[in-house]
Amino acid sequence: QSALTQPRSVSGSPGQSVTISCTGTSSDVGGYNYVSWYQQHPGKAPKLMFSDVAKRPSGVPDRFSGSKSGNTASLTISGLQAEDEADYYCCSYAGSYTLVFGGGTKLTVL
C-alpha cells in the first residue's frame, strides 16, 4: 500500500498545457484500468475529474484529459485557466478492494 508517485508541483501560464504524471506498479496502476483523478481547491472537498483512466464526468471541461501507459497514468490540462489552480490527486485500485492515492500535485497557474 505504497502511495503512487506524483510530482509535487507543476506550473504553466494561462492558455498553456500541463501534464501531471502518476506512477505506480503492476499491482495498481499497471494492473487495472481503475485510475481516477481528483481536483481539490484549498479548504474544499476533492472533486472527481476522471474515472477509469479517461472517463470524464459531466461538468468537467474537455480541456482535461486522462490517459495511461504501463504503470504511469497522466492528467493533461490544455488551455490552462486561473481556476485550474488546485491540488490534483490520482488514485488507483490496488486489488482486494483496496485503493491507493498519489501524494498530490500542486498546480500553479502563473
Partner 1 sequence: EVQLVESGGDLVQPGGSLTLSCAASGFTFSNYWMTWVRQAPGKGLEWVANIKQDGSEKYYVDSVKGRFTISRDNAKNSLFLQMSSLRAEDTAVYYCSRGVPTGVDYFDYWGQGALVTVSS
Among 39, 104, 107, 109, contact with partner 1 (rule: CB under 8 A): 104
Strands (E), the chain: 9-12, 18-23, 35-40, 47-50, 64-69, 72-77, 86-93, 99-101, 105-109
Smaller CB separation from partner 1, 13 or 58: 58
Smaller CB separation from partner 1, 78 or 101: 101
Least spacing, CB of residue 59 vs partner 1, in Å: 11
Q: Is 48 in the site for partner 1 (CB under 8 A)?
A: yes
Nearest Cα to Cα of residue 48 among 63, 22, 57? 57
Compute the distance between CA of residue 37 and CA of residue 20 in angstroms, rounded to an integer: 10
Q: Is 38 in the site for partner 1 (CB under 8 A)?
A: yes
Least spacing, CB of residue 87 vs partner 1, in Å: 8
